[in-house]
Structure formats: structure tokens, C-alpha cells
Amino acid sequence: MARKFRREIERERRTLAAAWEESRARVSRSRVVEGCSRVSLKKKKKKSFYAFAIDGAWAVLGLMCSSYGPRYTGLRIPHCHGPFAVRMAHLSLGGGDVNGPSQKGKHVFSKAEFHVLILGVHKAGKTTLLEKVKSIYLKEEGLPHDRIVPTVGLNIGRIEDANVKLVFWDLGGQPGLRTIWEKYYEEAHAVIYVIDSAAASSFEDAKSALEKVLHHEDLQGAPLLIFANKQELPAAVTEEELARHLHLKELDERPYMFQAGSAYDGTGIKAGIDWLVEEMERSKRTEVLMARTETAEKI
């Protein structure tokens, strides 16, 4: 009886000891888990601190590049202004994608792409101009003049400047083809309107076609470069004379420039494109088109 009683006490003691061991193991296991979570919490805090610091740096850089930077610091960062800066500040201040800083970097460093429409009446020299633009910027031979035929569809040219990508759309200028022009207006950031400065007989047609372009609501605010082409010909009028001939009233509402030049020898092309790029970079229209593209990308 006493032996039986002792065995029961022994069993009870072992059960209690096992329970005690189990509870100790559970506590230490939870400590290990807790320890882990503390470490990952620390890491998380560190990570979010770095993310915050990087975001802050982007914000400062963005604001420095915007119009506020030069105003308050007297420093202007070259080639870093206009919508590019606004975009940088916007992205860095949380307006960008939800995919984190790496995505922001991707957007900030990718070049802005602008679409430029090349319009004008037939034989003004649009396609020859596009070929010259490609040969100047891409440093490769364009099509020889005698192989350029009247345009029926669309010629596309892509070039990259130091800061931007430019996509040119060259359309046919024959009267029956001009109805196609407006299909491209909505997506265009700017227009190059080419005129044969040596063909006075075509000025009236060039003027009325240009007036229609300027009246179209899909092209509101688009910067306009009027390229007075074929300047190397003796009969060519200067850009001032051409401006007098055209006498365009609607021009006051948009950024515009008359540029004399030649698609044959390349004069005036770089100056014209430099002006156009600057105008596109600061244009309200560019901001609107960019916002529209971003929205479309998100959908």
C-alpha cells in the first residue's frame, strides 16, 4: 500500500516536472520568436528610415531643380528645369508610383519623350527636313534628295538629344491628304510648319493651311516653329518677310518662332529644334499630355 502510494507520488512528480519543462521551453521559444520579431522590427525601422532619407533627397533635388531652387538659393542646375523638375519633385514627394524608390529613380532618369508634327503644304521640304534632322542628330547619312518621293502616309523619325527623346511625324501636304493631319494633333507636343520660302506662289495656300492648324482645339498651346525652308535659293525671302506675308493673328496665343534655314545644307535646323525643345519642356500642354500618359499607364 505504502509502495503503491509512493509510485503515485513519483508519477505526479514526473508529470509536474514535465509540465514545468514544457512551460519553460514554451517561454524560451516565445522569447526566441519575440527576439526575432524585435530584430526584424529594427531592420524594418532602419529600412523605412533609409527610404525616408532617399525620398527626402529626391524631394530636395526636385525642388532645387524647380523654379523655387534658383529663386531661393541662387543656384540653377543646368538642363534640369520645367516639367522635368516638377515631375521629379512630384515623384519624390510621394506623387509617384507605389512601387517604391527604385521605380521613382527609373522615372526620374528616363528621358522625356516629345512628339513633333512636321506639317506644311506639298513640296515645302518636310521629308527632306526630316532626313536632314536624322543625319544631324544620328550622325548617319539620310536618304539622298533624289530618292525622296511625295509623302502619302506617314514618315517617322526618332532622335535622342542629351536630355530628351524626339519623335517626328512627317505627313503628306497634298490637299487631299491634309485631312489626316488632325488625327495626330491630340498626341503632339509641338509643330514644325515648313514653308518653301522661294515659292511665293504657295504662300497663300501655306497661310490658309496653317490657319486651320492653329484654329484646331486639339493643338491648343502647342509651340510652333515656322521653318522658312530653301534659304540657299536666290529667290528665298527672309523669315521677317515671310512673317509679313503670312500675317498670322492667332500666333499671339502660343509660343512661336520663325526660323530661316535649309533642309539641303542643314542651316537653322539645330537652332530651331533647340528652341522647340525648350518650349516643350516648359509648356503647359506638355504637363497635360504627361499627366494623361501617366493616368493611362496606371489603368
Ligand X SMILES: Nc1nc2c(ncn2[C@@H]2O[C@H](COP(=O)(O)OP(=O)(O)OP(=O)(O)O)[C@@H](O)[C@H]2O)c(=O)[nH]1
Catalytically annotated residues: 174
Q: Which does 134 bind (CB under 5 to 8 A by kind): Mg ion, ligand X, none?
A: none
Which is closer to ligand X, CB of 129 or CB of 290? Answer: 129
- Which part of the chain contacts ligand X (CB under 6 A), choosing from 73-81, 146-154, 206-214, 246-254? 146-154
20: enclosing H helix or E strand: helix 2-65
- 122 near ligand X (CB under 6 A): yes
Closest CA to 184 of 174, 169, 194: 169
* 271 is annotated as contributing to ligand binding: no
- 123 near ligand X (CB under 6 A): yes
**Cα separation of 15 and 223, whole Å?**
89
How many Cβ atoms from other residues are within 10 Å of residue 89's Cβ? 21
* 232 is annotated as contributing to ligand binding: yes
* Least gap, CB of 121 to ligand X (angstroms): 7
Which is closer to Mg ion, CB of 66 or CB of 151? Answer: 151
Here the cell at position 38 is 524585435
**Cα separation of 10 and 55, whole Å?**
66
**Cα separation of 106 and 136, whole Å?**
29
Closest CA to 172 of 203, 130, 200, 221: 130
Here the cell at position 107 is 522615372
- 151 near ligand X (CB under 6 A): yes
**Cα separation of 70 and 72, whole Å?**
6
Which is closer to ligand X, CB of 84 or CB of 227? Answer: 227
- 128 near Mg ion (CB under 5 A): no
**Binding pattern for the stretch 210-249 against ligand X, x by CB under 6 A and - elsewhere:** -------------------xx-xx----------------
Judged by DSSP in three states, 268 sits in: coil
- 286 near ligand X (CB under 6 A): no
- 156 near ligand X (CB under 6 A): no
273: CB partners within 8 A, 6+ apart:
133, 161, 166, 225
Q: Which residues are registered as beta bridge partners of 136?
A: none
Q: Which does 229 bind (CB under 5 to 8 A by kind): Mg ion, ligand X, none?
A: ligand X
* 127 is annotated as contributing to ligand binding: yes
**Cα separation of 68 and 52, whole Å?**
22
Among 62, 117, 142, 151, binds Mg ion (CB under 5 A): 151
Residues that bind ligand X (CB under 6 A): 120, 122-128, 145, 148, 150-151, 172-174, 229-230, 232-233, 262-264
Residues that bind Mg ion (CB under 5 A): 126-127, 151
Binding residues for GTP: 120-127, 173, 229-232
